């Protein structure tokens, strides 16, 4: 679908749902993914041209995919700690993408075959990548945390395969693979990587989308395999960076306090979750 963002007038800086402005580039439907942020991401990326985007806590990597595929940056670096997610991105951006596509094409998506596949331990990137895609499609909201069950009745009672669109997945993977040289995947703790980034001379765009602070609270169901980070330490490190930065966070007193303390601008933005629930998130930029 052609991209018509510039032609649409927006009366207020609020979330509006215009599907053609939010293209889906990813084979993952990622919990906490940032597709809804597309208009703000474009505005931020267009503000000055830098050759490289670094996306910390990359997950479904929406910002990186948009930035490269829409030509805002030449290269995107995805920093993520989860080995299964990294295996997926490494495969998508390598010659093994073809093997991944043929596994997707040949898979019969039934409750039994999904359970059998999810019980397996894979050693190769391509095996782990395939398992990650199937897990992401079989579970409610794409949750990848250990122990989350598969959605037997499917979404809208359409059965376990209600989210399995093999041809769409293959088309997205093939398209992304054409940009393989424009992506780099770093499997590392984002806080460690930030220390390295501070030393880099040439400036990058830095997009930071950490797990929500409330995922650290007792009783809150985890969304990812890695949910807990030291948010206070992260704020301290982000404060030191000289790169052009955009941070997204859940709207909480803790985040507001830390953002003010570390001299970030705070903007509250309305979004709609995958289940059409409206809620607010915070966008933080350098003051
Ligand atoms: C909110 S999600 C990112 C969603 C992403 N922006 C998107 O568009 O799909 C947070 C991600 O941080 C990852 N993560 C958690 N702890 C991490 C750490 N210490 N270093 C790097 N990544 C981490 C999780 O595995 C998860 O994928």
Domain regions of the chain by residue span: 1-81+188-287, 95-179
For residue 223, how far is the Cα from the chain centroid? 12
Q: Cα torsion for 187, 174, 27, 126, to the nearest 10°?
A: -50
pLDDT means per 10 residues, the chain with 287 residues, are 38 44 86 89 89 96 96 97 98 98 96 93 96 92 77 66 91 98 98 91 93 78 88 96 94 96 95 76 93
C-beta 229 within 6 A of ligand 1? yes
272 bridge partner residues: 278
Q: How far is the CA of 127 from the centre of ligand 1 (A)?
A: 21
CA distances to 32, 56, 58, 154, 248 from 284, in Å = 17, 14, 17, 37, 6
C-beta 27 within 6 A of ligand 1? no
**Residue whose CA is closest, atom 16 of ligand 1?**
226
**Residue whose CA is closest, atom 13 of ligand 1?**
57
Q: Assess contact for 73 and 225: CB atoms under 8 A.
A: no
The pTM is what? 0.89
Atom of ligand 1 nearest to the CA of 26: 9
d(CA 176, CA 26): 8
Pocket test for ligand 1, best of 211, 231, 235 (most atoms within 8 A of CB): 211
pLDDT score recorded for residue 11: 40
What CATH fold (topology level) applies to the domain 1-81+188-287? Rossmann fold (3.40.50)
**Element of type H or E holding 280:** strand 278-286
């Amino acid at each position: 679908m052609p991209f018509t963002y510039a032609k649409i007038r927006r009366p207020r800086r609020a979330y509006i749902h215009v599907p053609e402005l939010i293209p889906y580039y990813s084979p993952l439907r990622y919990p906490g993914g940032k597709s809804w942020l597309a208009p703000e991401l474009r505005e931020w990326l267009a503000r000055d041209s830098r050759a490289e985007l670094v996306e910390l806590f990359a997950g479904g990597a929406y910002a990186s995919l948009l930035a490269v595929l829409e030509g805002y940056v030449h290269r995107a670096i995805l920093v993520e700690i989860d080995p299964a997610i990294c295996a997926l991105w490494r495969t998508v951006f390598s010659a093994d993408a073809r093997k991944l596509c043929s596994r997707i094409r040949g898979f019969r998506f039934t409750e039994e075959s999904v359970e059998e596949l999810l019980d397996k331990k894979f050693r190769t990137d391509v095996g782990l990548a395939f398992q990650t895609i199937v897990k992401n499609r079989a579970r409610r909201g794409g949750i990848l945390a250990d122990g989350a069950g598969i959605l037997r009745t499917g979404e809208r009672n359409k059965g376990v395969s209600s989210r399995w669109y093999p041809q769409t997945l293959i088309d997205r993977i093939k398209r992304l693979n054409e940009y393989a040289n424009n992506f780099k995947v770093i499997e590392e703790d984002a806080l460690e990587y930030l220390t390295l980034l501070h030393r880099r001379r040439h400036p990058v765009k830095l997009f930071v989308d950490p797990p929500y602070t409330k995922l650290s609270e007792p009783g809150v169901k985890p969304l990812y395999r890695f949910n807990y980070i030291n948010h206070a330490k992260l704020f301290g490190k982000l404060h030191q960076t000289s790169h052009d930065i955009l941070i997204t966070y859940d709207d909480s007193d803790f985040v507001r306090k830390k953002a003010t303390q570390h001299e970030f601008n705070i903007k509250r933005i309305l979004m709609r979750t995958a289940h059409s629930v409206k809620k607010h998130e915070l966008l933080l930029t350098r003051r």
